[in-house]
Amino acid sequence: MFEPAYLKLYKSNKLNKRIEQLYAILKNCHLCPRKCEVDRTKNEKGTCRSGIDLIVSSIGPHFGEEEPLVGNGGSGTIFLTNCNLRCIYCQNYEISHLGRGGIMSPKEVAKGMLYLQKIGCHNINFVTPTHFVPQLVESIKIACETGLRLPIVFNCGGYESLKTIKLLDGIIDIYMPDIKYGSVPFGLSLRAKPHHPEELKDSDKSPAEKYSNAPDYFERCKEGVKEMHRQVGDLKIVDGIAQRGLLIRHLVLPNDLAGSEKVLKFIVEEISLDSYVNIMDQYRPMYKANNYLELNRRPLLSEYNQVIELAKSLSLHRGFQKRLILIT
Ligand code: SF4
């Protein structure tokens, strides 16, 4: 019978210590690689524009996630408001940039988790949790005391601090990071004609810096994903439902702005050939993407298929087969 990771920590009384350690990080916040060093316990705010209060956009079953998360009952999503990455093309910008959501206490979120369990969801899926890790782990503890037994999914943007991920060891069952960029510098062929003179100085920045203001994205992401994989291993699916492991997402961007080859090679060479990789084709220019000529369109089918073919040629074999069949 499935037993979630956090139950063992809870039973051995180690969960409280983790919560303390995580809240301590908020005092000079370095929960993520931005290292803003603001005192969030006094409601000071850094890049993620979040203080001490947990802000939630929605709680409910979601049927649009990856098949092994959805099953028949859906994935129990809890969408957190704001974000530490703030990509200019964010597909959920109303939540991540515009702050749509309301304050909830950890106790109220715990109640929401128990509700999702009661209605038959297969997991608790925290969407964009990075900047609220201490408060969410407190919620997990409260929910665990009152009967939560579902696996926790950490559904993040991949710009993570190694220290924070290490403190989640034994709490998270399923890590679902994006790997957004392989940190490719702009090639001449990809460089767009700037719309405004001030963009000229932007033209030599890598996509991670230009679109997410995170020049060290790939380095931090690689460290974090390696640690996630060390903790939970490859994705384990039992009777069609994910129980534990790493599920990687990679969104294909137009003009190879995501540096897909470097991302896939990293997965093959430093994670595992059995990695479950969802190669996503749903990019659309949203929010401020139309200020950037090179980002202002959907990826072509040929661009997407090229990434799929590359994944196959590198011997990756989990997570993207079905879409390949539909497209080719
Ligand atoms: S979690 Fe927010 S305040 Fe803390 S370091 Fe990251 S962006 Fe800055």
Following CA atoms 103, 137, 29, 221 in sequence, which dihedral angle do they give, to the nearest 10 degrees? -110
Q: Is the dihedral of CA 186, 189, 192, 198 positive or negative?
A: positive
Residue with tokens 């803003």: 36
pLDDT in tens, the chain (328 residues): 789 999 999 999 999 999 999 999 999 999 999 999 999 999 999 999 999 999 999 999 999 999 999 999 999 999 999 999 999 999 999 999 999 999 999 999 999 999 999 999 999 999 999 999 999 999 999 999 999 999 999 999 999 999 999 999 999 999 999 999 997 555 433 444 444 444 445 667 899 999 999 999 999 999 999 999 999 999 999 999 999 999 999 999 999 999 999 999 999 999 999 999 999 999 999 999 999 999 999 999 999 999 999 999 999 999 986 454 444 4
What's residue 139's pLDDT? 98
Say how many Å lie between the CA of residue 50 and the centre of ligand 1: 8
**Beta strand 54-62 pairing with 75-80:** antiparallel
What's residue 187's pLDDT? 45
Say how many Å lie between the CA of residue 233 and the centre of ligand 1: 27
What's residue 201's pLDDT? 54
3 state SS of 113: helix
Say how many Å lie between the CA of residue 207 and the centre of ligand 1: 21
What's residue 320's pLDDT? 86
- Which of 23, 26, 30 maximizes ligand 1 atoms within 8 Å of its Cβ, making it the mutation to test the pocket? 30
Which atom of ligand 1 lies at the shortest distance from residue 47's CA? 7
Say how many Å lie between the CA of residue 90 and the centre of ligand 1: 18
Nearest to 244 by CA among 154, 109, 131: 154
What's residue 321's pLDDT? 61
Which atom of ligand 1 lies at the shortest distance from residue 38's CA? 3
Predicted TM-score of the model (pTM): 0.93
What's residue 197's pLDDT? 45
Nearest to 41 by CA among 171, 143, 162, 135: 135
What's residue 188's pLDDT? 36
